[in-house]
Amino acid sequence: MAEASLPGAARRFRYGILDDNPVYRQLLGMCPTLAVTASLGGAVTMAGATAFVLVMANIVVALLRNRLKGHLRILVFTLTIAAFVTVVDRFLAAYMFDMSRKLGKYVPLIIVNCIIICRCEVCASRQPLHVAIADAFGQAFGFLFGLISIAVVREFLATGGLLGWRLPGWVGWTVMKGPAGAFITLGVLIGLVNWLSRRKRR
């Protein structure tokens, strides 16, 4: 596809947040979406870690895009993503030890997060650096929005509050802490987003 026919930086940024939201539209990165959204703190940290890897991987791939061999590109993407995931994993273990323990294997699993490899393939390997950066930030904000919205619902219903604040007398919904609560919340929110989109189109 000719580079000129691809979306520019502003559209890439906007698409990532709304029209191509990774959680609600592309249904990518479902593993962390379901696993770490039991609490708002975990969700924000995971979104931040993913954002760092997404932006750095897009920068490196966009800079190398004219040197990429077609049959080796996935290897280059994976190598780049794995390196930045290791960086973020070591920094979390050093400076956010308790959060690193809480997120556990989901930080190393960012390596196989489809959002990142998808953006390398769809945008960074085809478009200039500034577009790749805008795309990475758009997708990162979209992912952050997705994780926060699910975590807010789950943490509030499970504990009756957010980030330490508690509603007096609230009886927590234990189901919201587990995988079943994650699936239910994700399903309801996807349904809500689809309903709102359809209403807006009408």
Partner 1 sequence: MDFVDFSAMSEKKPGLLQYLGQAWLVLMLSVCFGAALAGVERFTRPKFEQNVKDFIARRLVEMFGPGTTTAEPTVLAVQIEGRDRKVRCYPALRDGRRVGWGIEAEGKGYDTLLLVIGVDEQVKQLKGYRVITSLETEGIGDVIEKDALFMKQFEDKDAARPLEPVAEAAPAEGNQVNTRTGATYSTTGVVNTINDTLAAVREKLAAAAKEGP
User: Interface residues with partner 1 (CB under 8 A)?
Assistant: 35, 64-65, 67-73, 75-76, 79-80, 83, 86-87, 90-91, 93-95, 97, 100-101, 104-105, 108, 125, 178-179
Asked if residue 59 lies in contact with residue 65, where contact means CB atoms within 8 angstroms, the answer is no
Rounded to whole angstroms, what are the CA distances from 16 to 7, 118, 133, 137, 159? 12, 12, 12, 8, 31
Asked if residue 172 lies in contact with residue 159, where contact means CB atoms within 8 angstroms, the answer is yes
- 166: which strand partners? 161
Is the Cβ of residue 125 or residue 139 nearer to partner 1 in the bound state? 125
CB of 73 to partner 1, least distance (A): 6
CB of 67 to partner 1, least distance (A): 6
Is the Cβ of residue 8 or residue 179 nearer to partner 1 in the bound state? 179
CA distance 51 to 32: 13
Is the Cβ of residue 79 or residue 167 nearer to partner 1 in the bound state? 79
CB of 83 to partner 1, least distance (A): 4
CA distance 192 to 173: 21
Is the Cβ of residue 16 or residue 29 nearer to partner 1 in the bound state? 29
